[in-house]
C-alpha cells in the first residue's frame, strides 16, 4: 500500500479539507472563548464528518 500518492484535487476536495480544518480549529478555539463554547460539539461533529468525506474520496481514488 502506497501511503503517499499523486492526486490532482479539485476545488470541491480542497473545500472539504478547508472546512474540516476550520471546524476543528473553531472547536479547539472555543475552549478559550465562552461565547462559542456551547457550539463546540457541533464544530467537532462537522469537522470529523467533513474530514471523513475527504479521506473517503482520497482513498477511493
Q: Write down the pLDDT at residue 1.
A: 54
- What is the extent of the structural domain holding 51? 11-60
Q: Which residue has the higher pLDDT, 8 or 35?
A: 8
Residue 51 lies in a domain: yes
Helical segments of the chain, H only: 11-30, 40-60
Residues 6 or more apart in contact with residue 29 via CB below 8 angstroms: 36
Residue 26 lies in a domain: yes
Residue 25 lies in a domain: yes
Q: Write down the pLDDT at residue 14.
A: 86
Q: How many CB atoms lie within 10 A of CB 51?
A: 17
Give this prediction's pTM: 0.54
Q: Which residue has the higher pLDDT, 27 or 1?
A: 27
- 25-49 pLDDT per residue, tens: 887 777 667 777 788 788 889 888 9
Q: Write down the pLDDT at residue 11.
A: 84
Amino acid at each position: 500500500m502506497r501511503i503517499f500518492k499523486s492526486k490532482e484535487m479539485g476545488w470541491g476536495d480542497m473545500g472539504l479539507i478547508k472546512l474540516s480544518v476550520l471546524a476543528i480549529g473553531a472547536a479547539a478555539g472555543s475552549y478559550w472563548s465562552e461565547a462559542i463554547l456551547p457550539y463546540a460539539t457541533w464544530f467537532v461533529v462537522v469537522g470529523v464528518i467533513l474530514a471523513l468525506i475527504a479521506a473517503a474520496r482520497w482513498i477511493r481514488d
